[in-house]
Amino acid sequence: MTTNTKYNTPKEFNNLYKILSSPKFLKKEGLGGELPFFIHSFPVQKLGEVESNTDSLIKRLQSEGVEIIEINLYFLCIDILKREDIFDKITAQEQSWPNKQRLLRILYGPLNIDTVIIPEIHKRVADTNAKILLLSGIGAAFPFIRSHTILNNLQTLVGNIPLVMLFPGTYNNQSLYLFDRIKDENYYRAHNLNEYKI
């Protein structure tokens, strides 16, 4: 699986700005009754460029009156672990563990998708007047959080505003390929922003 090698980050983000600020997108028109979930995939090699362009995109949208909340899943996890006062303990011991399976088992409770992560995302969105939820940090949060799991669990909580996931890899309208190497579960319900027409 390979992502488009001709991905031009500034051009792609200028197009994202046009899409996300368009009335059609904000009013969730033309979705055929589907959830307003969108995936913008990009080559993992462009991650640094995508992160810096994301900040600019958010500022540009907000200057036009489009409230957007970014939730970086990796930083969300760190915030939760710090709030539970276990982040420092885990990072101090992590190097002594023979494999990452132990870390995954330890994090299962404090970073449980159903009881912790999804309610925290819902709370953060509810505390704003956001018209768009932007999810980032997908690659950094893997394997603790898997993209299809987040999308499946957010359907009932944030379906009233468009959700945009910045995905390092490929989305072909059926499957997610994280880093263009790891096939996530099939996910058919998200719209591909790389192919979206205003």
40-49, 108-117, 137-146, 154-163, range with greatest mean pLDDT: 40-49
**What predicted TM-score, i.e. pTM, was given to this entire model?**
0.88
Q: Which of 72-81, 136-145, 159-168 comes out lowest in average pLDDT?
A: 136-145
Residue 1: per-residue pLDDT: 44
Separation of alpha carbons 13 and 15, rounded Å: 5
Element (H, E) at 14: helix 9-20
Separation of alpha carbons 90 and 144, rounded Å: 14
Residue 181, token pair as written in the block: 């190497």
Residues 147-168: b if buried by 16+ CB within 10 A, e if exposed: bbbbbebbeebbeebbbbbbbb
Name the residue with higher pLDDT: 195 or 188. Answer: 195
Share of the chain above pLDDT 70, in %: 90
Q: DSSP letters along 153-188, please?
A: HHTTTSTTS-EEEEEEEEE-SSEEEETTTEEEEE--
Residue 5: per-residue pLDDT: 62
Nearest to 117 by CA among 89, 138, 88, 102: 138
Please provide the average confidence, as pLDDT, over all residues in the chain.
86
